[in-house]
Structure 1
Amino acid sequence: MSNEIAQDLSPLIKIYKDGRIERLAGTDIVPATLDPKTGVESTDIVICAETGISARLYLPRTAINTPQKLPLLVYFHGGGFCVETAFSPLYHNYLNLLASKSNIVVVSVDYRRAPEHPLPAAYDDSWAALKWVASHSEGKGPSEWLNANADLDRVFFAGDSAGGNIAHIMAIRKGLSEETVRFKLIGIVLVHPYFWGKHPIGAEANFDSKAREWCGGFWLLACPTTSGFDDPLINPEMDPNLGRLGCERVLVCVAEKDIVKERGYYYKELLEKIGWGGTVEVMEAIGENHIFHLHNPSCDNAIAMLDKVSSFITAQP
């Protein structure tokens, strides 16, 4: 066994020259259960046994006694495409809170991760999960939770970091493939989305070269066949299909001290510049860093962001 490191992306992951992969974060899992604090029940389902795609479903207790169906949120977890899962305590705790606060059904997608499964595996798995969701459009899908409780005319995507990137890509695919997935995508929530580019923009230039190299390193690890940081998958500015974003509303959440903050603001500028036609807004958390809300969900900024995301999903048209 060699201890020579080929790529060091601490504190998240290390890749050794002998091919060994050491995940330093996101390895803990918690079981699906009834959460006593929020009254939200969760269960795990397998979407595709062949590829191992699965998901954790969340259902608020209030749904049991309510004949009216609830909005459905499809969530894509972050972790640089290479760490964390849908069963991580970070995501389990956050989605219990969000499902309870918003009174929504949640499908949290567990996709295959890089580097064992390089991109587009995560994108393809997420798309397969969306088609699985769409199979419930007539109330005859494999999940009785979705059949009975999810309103497929009020669907939202959300994700943080790399999951925000995935949510964006899935919304593009939805816009390009209207007949493939039979549900109505109302909006997407991109929390500290992982977008990047060949040339620094705005405050990115204030970060030292090592920080920028570390940030870009996850993209190169996840997508070894990429054309670089101006690949349309990581840089929306280069995507000719950006105007086909298949939803009506977008909420981008950014954090003041986050290295990818400028990309979140730029995403809003791009959508407005190309005349996409929907509404887009940005919420900034002052004094905070990347995914602060997952690590400190009870802080004032995390509560404010939870309220904002919740109101975005539950707003009446």
Structure 2
Amino acid sequence: MASTAANTAASADDSEEIEVDVPGFFRIYKDGRLLRFIGTDKLPAALDPATSVDSKDITIDPTTGVSVRLYLPPVAADQKLPVLVYFHGGAFCLESSASPAYHRHLNSLSALTPLIGVSVDYRLAPEHPVPAAYEDSWTALRWVFSLPDPWLSDHADLNRVFLAGDSAGANIAHHMALRAREESAAGVIIKGVALIHPYFWGSEPIGSESTDPAIRSIIEKIWQFVCPNSTGPDDPRINPLAVDAPNLASLACDQLLVTVAEKDTIKHRGKAYYEKLKQSGWEGKAELVETPDSEHVFHLFNPDTDKAKEMTKLLVDFFNKE
């Protein structure tokens, strides 16, 4: 009995041992549990009095529960608008399409462009490890092109469909643009892709990226946590510049915007992606924008600052491209 009690106590202690701690965001325990500090608050879909943008939630796959939040600005009966399919960030394990920051952001983009917003509520790790987020996002993208909802069938211009995402969402947008080329028979045609502070990584430091083993280990542990079957930091899903990653020339879009923030640990990955894209033989038009003196996804956390408003304008201008 004494031995059993000792083993139980040891197990209890092990369950509280921390593997990765990202203060203010989440904590991963060695037993595989995730404690979320942000991203659990949700706002209901509704008419937004500040922008006059209406929104609603639609479950698009009853077997998985995957849903999208649609946004529609004031629009004339016969008016066609560009469509933005948006993938939220959160390291594949935080946030949702109903998170206050994302709901506010999509309301703004929908009103200012104007456009129809489709914010994808993909399943999160660790409950649903990567590649669930990719599969859900592809399901949502194909759903958009089937025009299953009156907001889309009446007002969507399918010649102007844009993808965008921040952080992990930018990672997803990259992979959706690749998959659209790979599965061209699916009829998914993308006009442009905006990668906002993209969540990419790799085993070898690039540029002036941190060489601190502790920092690099944290990033790599988080990736392995959300994608347990990964081969590591050079898995093409997290490192689009890896030797065995698909050629960036395969991106199925005409225009691409990459944004990075000066104080962001992963900014060098976005810059390297842009340079590799230019060298790949891709025939589209790409742009790289760096925001000085700014942190990762600053525009979502502090949307009323001048820099956040500049970021919103940058995106609006991109989504208005013909």
Q: 1:45 aligns with which of 58, 73, 86?
A: 58
Check if 1:126 corresponds to 2:137.
yes
Pair 1:225 & 2:229 matched: yes
Preserved CA contact (<8 Å) 2:142 2:188? no
Deviation per CA, 1:63-121, whole angstroms, max 9, x where unpaired?
A: 1x252210000000000000101100010011111111110001000001111111110
1:202 counterpart = 2:215:
no
1:131: Cα distance to partner?
A: 1.3
1:1-150 correspondence runs (5 A) = 2-61=15-74, 63=75, 65-136=76-147, 141=148, 143-150=149-156
> Quick one: structure 1 residues 82 and 129, their matched pair in 2 at CA, closer, same or farther if it must change by over 3 Å?
same
CA RMSD of aligned residues (A): 1.4
In 2, distance between residues paired with 1:114 and 1:231? 17
1:21 deviation in Å?
2.7
* Conservation of the 8 A alpha-carbon contact between 1:9 and 1:217: no
Q: In the comparison of the two structures, how many residue pairs are matched?
A: 307
Tell me the residue number matched to 1:179. 185
Correspondence 1:282 to 2:288: yes
Instruction: Judge conservation of contact 2:261–2:291 (CA < 8 Å) in 1.
Output: yes
**Residue aligned with 2:184, SS:** coil
**Offset at residue 8 of structure 1 (A):** 3.0
Q: What's the CA shift for 1:192?
A: 0.2
1:106-145 per-residue CA deviation (whole Å, 9 max, x = no partner) reads 1000001111111110000101111111211xxxx2x111
Structure 1 SS opposite 2:304: coil
- Counterpart mapping for 1:141-160 below 5 A: 141=148, 143-160=149-166
- Which structure has the bigger radius of gyration? 2
- 1:304 and 2:304 correspond: no
**3-state SS of the aligned residue for 2:216?**
helix
Any unmatched runs of 5+ in structure 2?
Answer: 1-11
> CA 1:265–1:51 in 2, change beyond 3 Å: closer, same or farther?
same
Determine whether 1:213 maps to 2:217: yes
| Residue 170, structure 1, aligned to residue 176, structure 2 | yes
Contact persistence 1:172–1:241 (CA under 8 A):
no
CA distance in 2, matches of 1:304, 1:15: 35
Runs of 4+ residues over 4 Å off in structure 1: none
Measure how far apart 1:3 and its partner are.
2.4
Give structure 1 stretches of 5+ with no counterpart: none
Distance change >3 Å, CA 230–CA 299, structure 1 → 2: same
Equivalent-residue separation in structure 1 for 2:31 and 2:228 (angstroms)? 17
Q: Is the 8 A contact 2:53 2:72 kept in 1?
A: yes
Q: 8 Å contact 2:201–2:239 — kept in the other structure?
A: yes
Which amino acid in structure 1 is aligned with residue 202 of structure 2?
Answer: G
2:299 maps to what in 1? 293
What TM-score does the superposition give when structure 1 sets the normalisation length?
A: 0.93
CA distance in 2, matches of 1:210, 1:19: 20
* Secondary structure, counterpart of 2:46 in structure 1: coil
SS at match of 2:58: strand
Correspondence for 2:9 = none
Alpha carbons 1:80, 1:161 under 8 Å: kept: yes
TM-score (norm 2): 0.92
